[in-house]
């Protein structure tokens, strides 16, 4: 089986976390928007560090469809679903309460501390935490000016105390758990490095994400979310379900990550081997 790991032009050799799995598969790293690549030469094309896609989402989704469901993992239909955060309104599992504000729609009233983000983005770009209604509305207007929808969510204070838990699925089974400290630890728009994605990746704190654990309630919600995706799109090659606690202490989904998430394979023994085996299995 000939395998390509799709990456971006800023990281032509891929992200280091994926290297062990690539070696096991003898996979080649290929830049997703390189017109010289013959994707039909590969049996499997695995989306990995395609971290520039959100700025050109329609072009990226067209490329996914061209590669096709027979080759691309995850499949194009699932990628399209996950590329727009409006999926939070389209899943039945408990998720962070979210209001979706379209361009041209009246600006909402802002009460309490909120998180504002666009419906299409990656890496906390154009995302902020605000107790000031003026600042929150300013970010909403900036998001609208770019043609995107704005999401408004309550800031769940449990994130400051317990952070975020991620459940990583590979080949339909739970592979490992991750613990992530709060990214929006202060008010204001999240700092994001513009330009070279290698610089942005290097800005990540070494201990921002570490090996974690999950309780029965968290596992139950994550499994329900994964089952829902699998029922609609087929079992994903990989999926990362990010969870936070709501104000009553119950786990809710904050994000579903099935396009290009870092899986932090290096935090869990055997996870690179599990990913390689899942690719070979289909």
Q: Give tens-digit pLDDT for 210-265.
A: 999 999 999 999 999 999 999 999 999 999 999 999 999 999 999 999 999 999 99
Rounded CA separation 101/118 (Å): 9
257 is catalytic: yes
Write down the pTM of the prediction. 0.92
Write the CB contacts of 161 (distance below 8 Å, at least 6 apart in sequence). none
Rounded CA separation 238/260 (Å): 10
Taking alpha carbons only, the member of 39, 21, 17 closest to residue 30 is: 39
Rounded CA separation 181/200 (Å): 17
For residues 187-219, one letter each, b for 16 or more C-beta atoms within 10 angstroms of the residue's C-beta and e for the rest, the string is: eebbeeeeeebeebbeeeeeeebeebebeeebb
Catalytic residue among 240, 255, 260, 274: 240
Catalytic residue among 28, 198, 228, 280: 198
Residue 123 has a pLDDT of: 66
Rounded CA separation 243/156 (Å): 11
Q: Could you tell me if 254 and 243 are in contact, meaning their C-beta atoms sit under 8 angstroms apart?
A: yes
Radius of gyration of the chain (CA): 18
pLDDT digit string, tens, across residues 131-145: 999 999 999 999 999
240 is catalytic: yes
- The residue written with tokens 């690549």 in the block is 37
Mean pLDDT for all residues in the chain? 92
Q: Could you tell me if 48 and 259 are in contact, meaning their C-beta atoms sit under 8 angstroms apart?
A: no
Catalytic residue among 30, 255, 257, 260: 257
pLDDT digit string, tens, across residues 16-48: 999 999 999 999 999 999 999 999 999 999 999
Write the CB contacts of 202 (distance below 8 Å, at least 6 apart in sequence). none
Residue 65 has a pLDDT of: 98
- The residue written with tokens 């394979």 in the block is 265
Average pLDDT over residues 166-189: 89
99 is catalytic: no
Rounded CA separation 4/96 (Å): 35
Other Cβ atoms closer than 10 A to 267: 17
């Amino acid at each position: 089986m000939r395998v390509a790991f799709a990456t971006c032009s800023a990281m032509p050799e891929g992200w280091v976390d994926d290297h062990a799995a690539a070696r096991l598969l003898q996979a080649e790293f290929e830049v997703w928007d390189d017109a010289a690549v013959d994707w039909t030469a590969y049996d499997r094309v695995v989306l990995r560090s395609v971290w520039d896609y959100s700025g050109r989402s329609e072009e990226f989704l067209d490329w996914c469809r061209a590669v096709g469901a027979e080759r691309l993992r995850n499949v194009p239909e699932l990628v399209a679903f996950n590329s727009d955060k409006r999926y939070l309104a389209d899943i039945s599992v408990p998720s962070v309460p979210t209001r979706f504000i379209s361009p041209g729609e009246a600006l909402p009233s802002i009460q309490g501390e909120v998180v504002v983000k666009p419906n299409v983005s990656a890496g906390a770009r154009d995302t902020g935490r605000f107790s000031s209604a003026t600042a929150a509305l300013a970010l909403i207007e900036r998001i609208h000016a770019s043609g995107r929808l704005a999401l408004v969510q309550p800031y769940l204070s449990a994130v400051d105390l317990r952070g975020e838990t991620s459940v990583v699925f590979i080949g339909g089974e739970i592979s490992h758990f991750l613990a992530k400290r709060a990214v929006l630890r202060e008010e204001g728009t999240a700092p994001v490095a513009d330009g070279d994605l290698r610089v942005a990746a290097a800005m990540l704190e070494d201990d921002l994400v570490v090996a974690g654990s999950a309780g029965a309630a968290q596992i139950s919600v994550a499994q329900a979310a994964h089952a829902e995706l699998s029922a609609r799109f087929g079992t994903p090659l990989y999926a990362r379900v990010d969870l936070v606690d709501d104000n009553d202490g119950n786990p809710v989904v904050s994000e579903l990550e099935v396009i290009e998430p870092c899986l932090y394979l290096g935090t869990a023994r055997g996870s690179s081997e599990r990913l390689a085996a899942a690719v070979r299995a289909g």
